[in-house]
């Protein structure tokens, strides 16, 4: 049985490794402080909606919070900050922006006590100092089962100049992190943020490949997840309807395309900026005989039933076709 | 878009003489006033000694020449440390003005401690490069000492790291064995020497091997190379200088880290290289803590890679503030110099390639020069601007300043005092001759008498030094033992209190900061006392020797005194900064916590754990550090007394040569010249001896 709430994706990595920039790219907005030095914030849990923000103390008590005063939240005594915003991406998942590891001014407990909430992890490692022992050490303390729900983002990839150097870095990172993540993605986050309608720039920044993988991850986590007994206070339904005023995220836009592909029984040529019709966000309906074969399925097949082999479809060629139109 | 073009645009040069293409050799004159001052000081001092040699008798001249040779050997050294990929090797290349000398790569690359000896004569004829290999025992030691690895930075998962390190070392050994075949065993413990330094040579010994790079020779010997020494001539660097490049810490290949930690022990000055986009992580703090017990004047922080910032003018002050705050919060030594820059820019200037930098890098350079060198934008060439923006000249200036005030000053002072004592003794002998001529000399001592007087002074002084040292060291030992016990008691009772209030499930923390500060301040106190004792005993010895001169020749010379010897530099203890279990808030410390069950077990196990963790530190202080005190202070006294014995004995012997004979030897006028000369030399030496 799939999860009855949105998956929570934690953003992790050393401080100043690009987590906040990633968060902004994901959300298509800038709710969080982005600084060259370490950001001294407790974990920030972002969900879809317009409810007022609050902070949760270590004692579990909630305090009203003005998002403009985010920087003034006390690190001591605050477990996490909860912010609601209307960003397209948050219709698919919640994000937990964790404080950076290896910050001498912040105890690791600050993020450690929140890690159990995460269903998936996006780990940022800067390309020019990629995958150091301090990261490897922390990641080794996570349960091994988390690895297939985790993506490694090699950020600041545009700072590596030249193809041969880029290949070398990826070769090393790939070798060092073999089996530790579901995949690793070179990313130029600032480029992705500035891509706008420039498709080539979007692909070049690495954001497209990453978005596709994140999309898969979110659905896998949902499908394989266990229903949460402590169902979240926010009803899932609130997030379902697209809101024209919501912050537009390029990643969410790509999700919608992928969503359409997923939910379409036959391969159709789709315009790039097609809007998903209807409100099916997280789950595809079981294909019926009338609908014919499904392109890709992520429904949870009962163990005793043999799932029909989905027809092989090369996702990239589908995307390329859609781009061409 | 090259920066050269931009600056020219901004530069309404009145004469219009700025050439379209600026040749770097012309546009950039590397000058290092800080280093120049060192060479000037040494040069001036040598001139004084040369005068001394010219006027002295052959015996004395030989002694002065020896002192001069020792002074010439002063090679101030600095070690560059930091995390992997912070840009240490690029910085070293930029500092010595030889971009590309040490090979760099986009992945961690340096795996050997490489000492670059600039302008220092090689100790062996025609040897310009020397590579030492590990011997079997050292290799094993690296593995067994690895117990502290990973804990260095309070890193998570440190218990798995030791095992990982072991596997890495075994793998490395196997790899080396496969690569070198039967030569492997033969090479261990030996060294290779070469008469030239070139890129392919370095790649064979100091770079990580890369199987797919096609060059199978690359990294051929790297796995077994312990250290590399290169002797290089750089005409534009005015002094001798040793710059040490190290493998980065926080590498997933942890062997390299262990090599670096061992190298840090041997270094007096350190440059800690940080990366601008992520300044001062827990790992950097651990490094700084490791070297924190030397004076802050001996640590410089260089924040590299500001070329990768989009707006350095705004971001650098922000980073600076954050570094200062972190240092303060973590009780790091104060007044550490922080210099911002980019080794990448420096190397681009040195290679004449600033027009080939990426647009981003150029934009940052413009942004930073406008902020930092606003007053120079008009008058400097693009090369000069980028060169200064790179921070490398400022770094060398700061380094020169520290070396001048530290090791160079100490060396000159020591040499000057030794020379002055030589001159004093010559002067005494001359006075004796004058008195003898007047017939007013009353020679009372035979060489045998003098010898027994000397033996008495030697014994008295040495006994006094040993006795005083013993008292102070005993106090020190008691003091740290007490602090240590009190710390253990306080921590254990805090633990019990925690258990009573919060139960066993909540994790408990106790900061080892208190213990560390107690140990550190106890050390500072004992260090000061030891210097005090040494100064007292040495001064006492000098006074007794001066008296003995008077007694031997029954004369009083106005202003006659013997210079007190300088105690040589005592390296600070390094393991005070070592991470102990209590520093660790994750990883095995937490594991330890969770594995313990039962109320009593906590307290007893905790006591034992902290004891086991801190005992080596305490013992190290009590044995190694106190041993160093004894060795240095007693060594200084012994050398001084030996020197004075020789001087007195030869003075007694040479005073028997009569004035008539002297005048025959030197000529009447020369004799008077000699007197004047000696007075001048003593005057000049006094300036350095203070």
d(CA B243, CA B229): 10
- DSSP label at B118? E
Q: Where are the alpha helices (DSSP H) in B291-352?
A: 312-329, 343-350
Q: What is the CA radius of gyration of chain A?
A: 20
Give the residue ranges of chain A where pLDDT is below 50: 233-239, 267-325
User: Would you tell me which residues 308-337 of chain B have a C-beta closer than 8 angstroms to some C-beta of chain A?
Assistant: 308-309, 315, 318-319, 321-322, 325-326, 329-330
Indicate yes or no: CB of A129 within 8 angstroms of CB of B275. Answer: yes
Q: Does A230 touch chain B (CB under 8 A)?
A: no
- What one-character-per-residue DSSP string does B621-642 give? IIIIIHHHHHHHHHHHHHHHHH
Could you say which of A15, A138, A165 has the minimum Cβ distance to residue B156? A138
Q: Does A109 touch chain B (CB under 8 A)?
A: yes
pTM: 0.79
How large a percentage of chain B has pLDDT more than 90? 33
- Nearest CA among B209, B57, B18 for reference residue B657: B57
Condensed to tens digits (0 to 9), the pLDDT of residues B549-597 reads 888 877 666 677 888 988 877 777 766 655 544 554 444 444 555 555 5
Indicate yes or no: CB of A104 within 8 angstroms of CB of B280. Answer: yes
* Longest Cα–Cα distance in chain B: 96
Condensed to tens digits (0 to 9), the pLDDT of residues B431-475 reads 777 777 777 666 678 889 999 999 999 999 999 999 999 999 999
Tell me which of A308 and B144 has the higher pLDDT: B144
Which pLDDT does position B437 carry in this prediction? 74
At residue B559, φ and ψ (nearest 5 deg) are: 70, 10
- How many A×B Cβ pairs under 8 Å? 115
From first CA to last CA, the distance across chain A in angstroms is 38
- DSSP label at B112? S
Q: Does B634 touch chain A (CB under 8 A)?
A: no
- Contact (CB, 8 A) for B567 and B633: yes
Per residue, the 3-state secondary structure of B127-181, as one string, reads CCEEEEECCHHHHHHHHHHHHHCCHHHCCCCHHHHHHHHHHHHHHHHHHHHHHHC
Q: Does A134 touch chain B (CB under 8 A)?
A: yes
Tell me which of B92 and A112 has the higher pLDDT: B92
* Strand (E) or helix (H) holding B433: helix B409-438
Which pLDDT does position A2 carry in this prediction? 65
Q: Does A16 touch chain B (CB under 8 A)?
A: yes
Question: What residues are paired with A13 via a beta bridge?
Answer: A124
Kind of pairing between the strands at B129-133 and B191-194: antiparallel
Indicate yes or no: CB of A169 within 8 angstroms of CB of B315. Answer: no
Q: Does A14 touch chain B (CB under 8 A)?
A: yes
Indicate yes or no: CB of B325 within 8 angstroms of CB of A105. Answer: yes
Residue B174 has pLDDT above 60, yes or no: yes
d(CA B259, CA B138): 11
Which pLDDT does position B595 carry in this prediction? 52
- Nearest CA among B523, B611, B531, B527 for reference residue B575: B523
- Contact (CB, 8 A) for B306 and B341: yes
Residue B503 has pLDDT above 70, yes or no: no
What would the mean pLDDT of B171-192 be, rounded to a whole number?
84
- Nearest CA among A117, A109, A55 for reference residue A84: A55
| Mean pLDDT over the full length of chain B | 81
Could you say which of B251, B282, B308 has the minimum Cβ distance to residue A159? B308
Could you say which of B85, B277, B283 has the minimum Cβ distance to residue A134? B283
Which residue in A has a C-alpha nearest to residue B284's C-alpha?
A: A104
Q: Where are the alpha helices (DSSP H) in A145-285?
A: 163-176, 189-193, 199-204, 207-224, 250-263
Which pLDDT does position B599 carry in this prediction? 59
**Range of weakest confidence among B111-125, B147-161, B589-603:** B147-161
Indicate yes or no: CB of A133 within 8 angstroms of CB of B308. Answer: no
Condensed to tens digits (0 to 9), the pLDDT of residues B28-59 reads 678 888 899 999 999 999 999 999 998 888 88
| Mean pLDDT over the full length of chain A | 77
At residue A166, φ and ψ (nearest 5 deg) are: -60, -45
Indicate yes or no: CB of A129 within 8 angstroms of CB of B85. Answer: yes
Q: Which of A15, A33, A76, A104 to mutate to test the interface with B (most CBs of B within 10 A)?
A: A104
d(CA A219, CA A155): 24
Say which residues have a Cβ less than 8 Å from residue B665's Cβ, sequence separation at least 6. B657
Which pLDDT does position A181 carry in this prediction? 96
Say which residues have a Cβ less than 8 Å from residue B654's Cβ, sequence separation at least 6. B57, B429
Which pLDDT does position B690 carry in this prediction? 80
Condensed to tens digits (0 to 9), the pLDDT of residues A193-243 reads 888 888 899 999 999 999 999 999 998 888 887 766 665 544 444 445 667
d(CA A103, CA A134): 11
Say which residues have a Cβ less than 8 Å from residue B594's Cβ, sequence separation at least 6. none
Say which residues have a Cβ less than 8 Å from residue B673's Cβ, sequence separation at least 6. B55
Tell me which of A212 and B487 has the higher pLDDT: A212
d(CA B477, CA B198): 52
Condensed to tens digits (0 to 9), the pLDDT of residues B209-251 reads 665 554 557 778 888 888 899 999 998 899 999 999 988 887 7
User: Would you tell me which residues 155-184 of chain B have a C-beta closer than 8 angstroms to some C-beta of chain A?
Assistant: 155-158, 160-161
- Contact (CB, 8 A) for B162 and B147: yes
ipTM field: 0.72
Q: Does A160 touch chain B (CB under 8 A)?
A: yes
CA–CA min distance A13, chain B (Å): 12
d(CA A247, CA B131): 60
- Nearest CA among A28, A46, A8 for reference residue A217: A8
Which pLDDT does position A296 carry in this prediction? 31
d(CA B262, CA B149): 12
Could you say which of B257, B277, B585 has the minimum Cβ distance to residue A107? B585
Which pLDDT does position A277 carry in this prediction? 44
Indicate yes or no: CB of B250 within 8 angstroms of CB of A38. Answer: no
* Longest Cα–Cα distance in chain A: 60
CA B133 vs CA B34, B122, B171, B195: distances in Å: 36, 19, 17, 18
d(CA B245, CA B86): 12
d(CA A137, CA B160): 9
CA–CA min distance B161, chain A (Å): 8
């Amino acid at each position: 049985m799939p999860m009855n709430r949105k998956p929570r994706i934690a953003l992790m990595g050393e401080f100043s490794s690009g987590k906040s920039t990633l968060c902004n790219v994901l959300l298509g907005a800038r709710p969080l402080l982005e600084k060259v030095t370490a950001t001294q914030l407790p974990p920030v849990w972002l969900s879809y909606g317009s409810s007022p923000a609050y902070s949760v103390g270590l004692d579990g008590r909630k305090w009203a919070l003005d998002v403009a005063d985010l920087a003034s939240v006390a690190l001591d005594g605050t477990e996490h900050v909860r912010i609601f915003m209307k960003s397209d991406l948050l219709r698919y998942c919640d994000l937990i922006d964790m404080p950076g590891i290896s910050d001498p001014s912040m105890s690791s407990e600050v993020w450690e006590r929140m890690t159990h909430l995460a269903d998936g992890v996006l780990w940022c490692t800067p390309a020019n100092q990629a995958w150091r022992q301090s990261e490897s050490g922390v990641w080794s303390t996570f349960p091994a089962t988390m690895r297939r729900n985790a993506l490694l983002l090699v950020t600041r990839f545009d700072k590596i100049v030249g193809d041969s150097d880029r290949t070398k870095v990826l070769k090393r990172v790939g070798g060092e992190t073999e089996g530790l993540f579901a995949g690793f993605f070179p990313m130029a986050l600032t480029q992705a943020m500035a891509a706008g309608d420039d498709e080539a720039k979007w692909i070049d920044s690495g954001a497209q490949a990453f978005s596709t993988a994140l999309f898969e991850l979110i659905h896998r986590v949902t499908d394989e997840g266990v229903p949460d007994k402590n169902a979240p206070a926010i009803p899932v339904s609130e997030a379902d309807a697209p809101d024209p005023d919501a912050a537009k995220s390029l990643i969410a836009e790509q999700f919608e395309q992928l969503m359409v592909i997923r939910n379409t029984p036959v391969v159709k040529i789709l315009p790039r900026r097609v809007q998903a019709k209807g409100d099916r966000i997280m789950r595809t309906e079981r294909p019926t005989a009338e609908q014919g074969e499904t392109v890709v399925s992520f429904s949870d097949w009962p163990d005793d039933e043999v799932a029909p082999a989905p027809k092989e479809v090369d996702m990239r060629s589908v995307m390329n076709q859609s781009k061409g139109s | 878009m090259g920066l050269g073009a931009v600056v020219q645009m901004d530069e309404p040069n009145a004469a219009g003489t700025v050439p379209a293409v600026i040749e770097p050799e012309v546009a950039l004159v590397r000058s290092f006033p800080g280093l120049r001052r060192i060479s000037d000081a040494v040069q001036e001092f040598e001139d004084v000694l040369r005068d001394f040699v010219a006027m002295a008798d052959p015996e004395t001249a030989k002694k002065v020449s020896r002192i001069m040779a020792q002074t010439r050997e002063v090679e101030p050294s600095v070690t560059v440390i930091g995390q992997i990929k912070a840009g240490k090797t690029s910085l070293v290349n930029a500092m010595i003005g030889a971009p590309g000398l040490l090979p760099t790569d986009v992945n961690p690359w340096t795996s050997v401690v490489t000492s670059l000896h600039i302008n220092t004569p090689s100790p062996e004829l025609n040897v310009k490069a020397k590579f030492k290999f590990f011997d079997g025992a050292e290799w094993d030691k690296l593995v067994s000492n690895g117990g502290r690895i990973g804990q260095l930075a309070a890193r998570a998962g440190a218990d798995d790291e030791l095992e990982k390190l072991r596997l890495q070392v075994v793998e490395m050994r196997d790899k080396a064995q496969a690569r070198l075949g039967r030569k492997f065993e033969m090479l261990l413990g030996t060294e290779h020497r070469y008469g030239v330094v070139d890129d392919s040579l370095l790649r064979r010994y100091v770079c990580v091997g890369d199987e797919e790079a096609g060059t199978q020779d690359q990294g051929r010997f790297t796995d077994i190379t312990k250290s590399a020494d290169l002797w290089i001539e750089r005409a534009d660097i005015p002094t001798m200088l040793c710059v040490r490049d190290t493998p980065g810490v926080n590498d997933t290949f942890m062997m390299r880290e262990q090599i670096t930690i061992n190298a840090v022990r041997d270094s007096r000055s350190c440059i800690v290289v940080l990366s601008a986009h992520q300044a001062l992580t827990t790992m950097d703090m651990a490094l700084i803590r490791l070297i924190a017990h030397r004076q802050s004047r001996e640590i410089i922080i260089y924040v590299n890679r500001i070329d990768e910032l989009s707006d350095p003018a705004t971001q650098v002050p922000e980073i600076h503030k954050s570094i200062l705050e972190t240092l303060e919060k973590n009780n790091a030594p104060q007044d550490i110099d922080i210099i911002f820059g980019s080794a990448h820019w420096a190397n681009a200037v040195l290679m004449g390639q600033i027009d080939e930098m990426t647009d981003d890098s150029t934009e940052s350079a413009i942004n930073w020069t406008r902020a930092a060198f606003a007053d120079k934008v008009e008058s400097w060439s693009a090369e000069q601007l980028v060169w200064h923006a790179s921070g490398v000249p400022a770094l060398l200036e700061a380094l020169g300043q520290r070396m001048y005030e530290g090791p160079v000053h100490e060396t000159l002072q020591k040499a000057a005092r030794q020379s002055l004592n030589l001159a004093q003794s010559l002067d005494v002998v001359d006075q004796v001759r004058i008195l003898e001529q007047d017939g007013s000399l009353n020679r009372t001592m035979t060489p045998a008498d003098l010898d027994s007087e000397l033996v008495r002074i030697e014994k008295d002084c040495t006994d006094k030094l040993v006795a005083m040292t013993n008292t102070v060291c005993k106090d020190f030992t008691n003091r740290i033992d007490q602090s240590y016990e009190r710390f253990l008691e306080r921590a254990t009772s805090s633990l019990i209190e925690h258990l009573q209030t919060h139960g066993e499930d909540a994790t408990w923390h106790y900061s080892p900061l208190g213990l560390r500060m107690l140990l550190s301040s106890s050390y500072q106190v004992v260090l000061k006392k030891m210097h005090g004792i040494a100064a007292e005993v040495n001064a006492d010895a000098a006074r007794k020797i001066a008296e003995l001169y008077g007694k031997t020749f029954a004369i009083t010379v106005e202003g006659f005194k013997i210079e007190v010897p300088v105690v040589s530099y005592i390296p600070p203890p390094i393991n005070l900064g070592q991470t102990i279990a209590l520093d660790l808030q994750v990883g095995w410390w937490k594991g330890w916590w969770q594995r313990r069950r039962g109320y009593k077990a906590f307290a007893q196990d905790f006591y034992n754990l902290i004891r086991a963790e801190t005992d080596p530190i305490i013992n190290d202080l009590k044995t190694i550090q106190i041993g160093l005190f004894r060795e240095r202070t007693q060594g200084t006294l012994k050398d001084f007394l030996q020197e004075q014995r020789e001087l007195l004995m030869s003075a007694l012997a040479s005073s028997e040569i009569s004035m008539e004979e002297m005048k025959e030897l030197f000529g009447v006028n020369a004799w008077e010249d000699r007197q004047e000369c000696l007075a001048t030399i003593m005057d000049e030496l006094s300036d350095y001896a203070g």
